A and B are shown apart, each in its own frame.
Chain A
């Protein structure tokens, strides 16, 4: 364990040294390594694998069928095997023989039905409805599992056909099912067969499934499938499976509709001038919000599912022809490599795919604003949207990018610059103001003007602690307040503000525990920390503040300077998907007037280079052609005026 602690510590301090700073050539190296290691993914380090359950429902045996009592062999044990003698906790014996010697645990009994491996022969849908239903019941543990609704019906034609639909109550929109699935199938099915209903593979017989597909299911997204796992996946996603007797295919229709939060205001990234929309937990809404802003067919959305139990959809969006393909490939590779049971939040996914998980600085940006996301996409970034999560991930990102807000672009450029300068200053204030205060009052008294020094000395005479302890106490109290304010139930929320102000402000000062000047210092630090727009980054500052404080209290300004140097040194080798995070300060790749200050928007002709987009120019050099003061626009004639 000491070894692992040491490992973790050294990882915190030293990332694996990079060889070259060409972004994305890194990917070649890592991808090469991966190919050498064997197939992608894997990483079976003694992770638990259940033994091949001989009772697995591969053959569709009737296990937890209808009406049976829940037994130990019910759904539970198929999922988790009881620990065998001699096994250590958390480890299981690797499956020995068996058809699949992979270490993928067959946790939900669905392995047999997975379709990612095209070579595996999936279980096809049977012609017999009963058999299909039995299999479905087994997979979904119906009727024990009360979420599923299985509705059998009969399509009335000259030869009645039995059918059934399966959906999840709460995830499927029941009106659509009633009106667009059940109604036509049950009531309007009496249409004569048509030529088009012939399934060419089946010869001349009209196929009821084709008929249903063509005429009887008026829903905008319907897919035909001949595999059971597709049905299962579709139902789990909120669709409805329609299984008919006598055909070896089935339909999955799109009927998603569940209760969700409507599009609201951004909770973290509010702006004064700009749209007030934020992502919500429905991925389709989110992608739609982005689509509205990037109305180009080149905008691509690729889906992936992550997590064995969660199977959460993750959408990777990029602009084909603009975004660097190596970047896209790398993101895809890293996502696909996540083989876990459960992941649902973009924050967790962020930790799985980032470059330096042991560094204090974030290397992926998360935002809940669609306008920002669309802007990033247009600059050549790749965006990940995770279902059930209102935060989108943007890669790659630089430290400077973490300090930008959407408003900088919407305001006119002098005010954008002003805000940026303010934010930059507050970054350093939030980082080192308490440290500077402690260092100045403990080591460098001459720096303080005499009158102020006397005032501080007078006010500190009553305080029993040394400055450091005072600062730590007060900072800790502020952290308490911040955390409590987040966690407190909203009913008693306002009370906390009052309590906090009273406790910290007046009472502590009057009791002589802290000096009033310190309250100002800490309050300013807290305010400065809140101006940092990125939550991850402000947490970084929170932690680093204490490091600086420690250094300042031990060695004064010298200590702070050394710690700052070390900080920059560590930050200078940190990368975000291969891009050095201190771009474009160093190595310089041209910031196009959008780094610390914000230049006029009509001067930004090129995209920032650090995403290595395929197309650098984004607007012509002269955008305001009508403006006679700018370059060679066509003159407007005498009546043009000024």
Chain B
């Protein structure tokens, strides 16, 4: 399969976009519910756990230089045993995409366009993202590279404009919220908030500088954690626990509060742009991950024919939850609690297996390569 090449900085931006888009959804809210006033601390800890998981992934992938995650799994377990593990990864990507799509569509519906049928929103949003996917990895990364600064700028200005509307730093106290033990445990669970970093694992053969891959991963994890931290802190300063944790659309609520003088009010509609850009880049990145991983699993020469089937699949799955609460539950209850396990555990096991097999893995790679 021919692999398009992307540079490290573009890969970083893509990863950042994919990891950070969730600040637009309900995530800041249920983090606040988890960690009460210490939500920011939860994020930091979760990022640290995720970095640990990434380190495991890196250690595993280092044994197979130049190969992507899917291919490396195949090297370790052989083509038949590897299939379920590879499908797990593809499934993870699909799941993340489905959940993200549904939540974004619901948010747009609730906040901006209540009467429009959700299928219109889902189809247009996913269609635009699939289009970018189809055009190629270059398109996906370059749109990310283009829109990420825009999104960051808009969100920053949103936060800054909202602060005068009553942000109080004291609302972040008491410091430790639910207590250190609870924090640690919950942050371990919530490290699954960062599993989108797996995308980098799938993209290894597409990198121009594959040796920088670990660094890109860490940078992306911490950069998005920082971004998220800023959002969470401002959110909690404006909507302190416990009242704030009941708001289903945190960033929208913050945007609605903006009122500077008589003129600059009710401007949340302008932040739709940031929203949609973030949503589209995330969806296109994750969709690409799903399609590409599946294509690698099937050893296809090109991933493009799979775009349409995956589009339909993701759309269909996104209509399964019957309401917003259920959709959020899919995300918060299932994915973000247990997601770290299928994401990071296999590399750990496989690392063990590969170590047991000794150099077998690498030799086999050399023979084939």
Contacts and interface: CB of A to CB of B under 8 A. Distances in A.
A joins B in a complex: yes
Interface of A: 13-15, 17-22, 440, 443-444, 446-447, 449, 555-562, 564-566, 568-570, 572-573, 580, 582, 585-588
Given A569-B132, A586-B146, A558 B138 contact: no
Contact of B304 (A17, A568, A573, A585): A17
Contacts of A565: 128, 132, 143, 147, 276-277, 280-281
Contact of B262 (A443, A449, A568, A570): A449
Interface in B110-160: 112-113, 116, 120-121, 124-125, 128, 131-132, 134-136, 138-139, 141-143, 145-147
B266 A447 contact: yes
A564 B269 CA distance: 16
Given A555-B121, A558-B276, 15 more contacts: A14-B134, A17-B304, A18-B4, A18-B136, A19-B4, A444-B112, A557-B112, A559-B124, A561-B273, A562-B280, A566-B128, A568-B142, A573-B142, A585-B145, A588-B7
A559 B134 CA distance: 20
Nearest to B265: A449
A171 to B, nearest CB: 50
Given A21-B138, A568-B143, A558 B112 contact: yes
Contact of A557 (B4, B6, B145, B272): B272
Contacts of B145: 585-588
A589 B134 CA distance: 25
Given A21-B5, A555-B113, A587-B7, A580 B280 contact: no
B48 interface: no
Contacts of B143: 565, 568-569, 572
Contacts of B5: 20-22
A443 B270 CA distance: 12
Among all A-B residue pairs, the 5 with the closest Cβ atoms: A561-B276, A572-B142, A569-B132, A586-B145, A444-B269
A551 B7 CA distance: 33
B80 interface: no
Contact of B138 (A13, A561, A568, A580): A580
Contacts of B9: 588
Contact of A586 (B135, B142, B273): B142
Central interface residue in B116, B131, B142, B281, by most chain A CB within 10 Å: B142
- Interface of chain B, main secondary structure: helix
B266 A569 contact: no
Contacts of A573: 135-136, 138-139, 142
Nearest to B273: A561
Interface string B190-224: 00000000000000000000000000000000000
A10 to B, nearest CB: 11
Contacts of B331: none
22 contacts: A13-B131, A14-B134, A18-B4, A440-B269, A444-B269, A447-B269, A447-B270, A557-B270, A557-B273, A558-B272, A558-B276, A561-B280, A565-B147, A565-B276, A568-B146, A569-B132, A572-B135, A572-B142, A572-B146, A585-B145, A586-B146, A588-B7
Contacts of B131: 13, 566, 569-570
Contacts of A449: 262-263, 265
B138 A585 contact: no
Contacts of A560: 273
Nearest to A588: B9
A22 B5 CA distance: 9
Given A556-B113, A572-B138, A587-B7, A19 B270 contact: no
A20 B132 CA distance: 16
Contacts of B348: none
Contact of B113 (A21, A446, A558, A572): A558
A416 to B, nearest CB: 22
A572 B139 contact: yes
B368 interface: no
B272 A561 contact: yes
A22 B208 CA distance: 11
Contact of A555 (B10, B120, B147, B275): B120
Contacts of A15: 135
B125 to A, nearest CB: 7
B359 interface: no
B269 A557 contact: yes
A573 B143 CA distance: 10
Contacts of B367: none
B108 interface: yes
B366 interface: no
Given A558-B108, A582-B146, A586-B10, A569 B269 contact: no
Interface string B242-261: 00000000000000000000
Contacts of B263: 449
Interface in B1-35: 2, 4-7, 9-10
Given A555-B113, A558-B108, A586-B145, A447 B132 contact: no
B4 A21 contact: yes
Contacts of B134: 14
A561 B265 CA distance: 21
A591 to B, nearest CB: 14
B312 interface: no
B124 A555 contact: yes
Given A447-B267, A585-B145, A17 B276 contact: no
A569 B139 contact: yes
Contacts of B304: 17
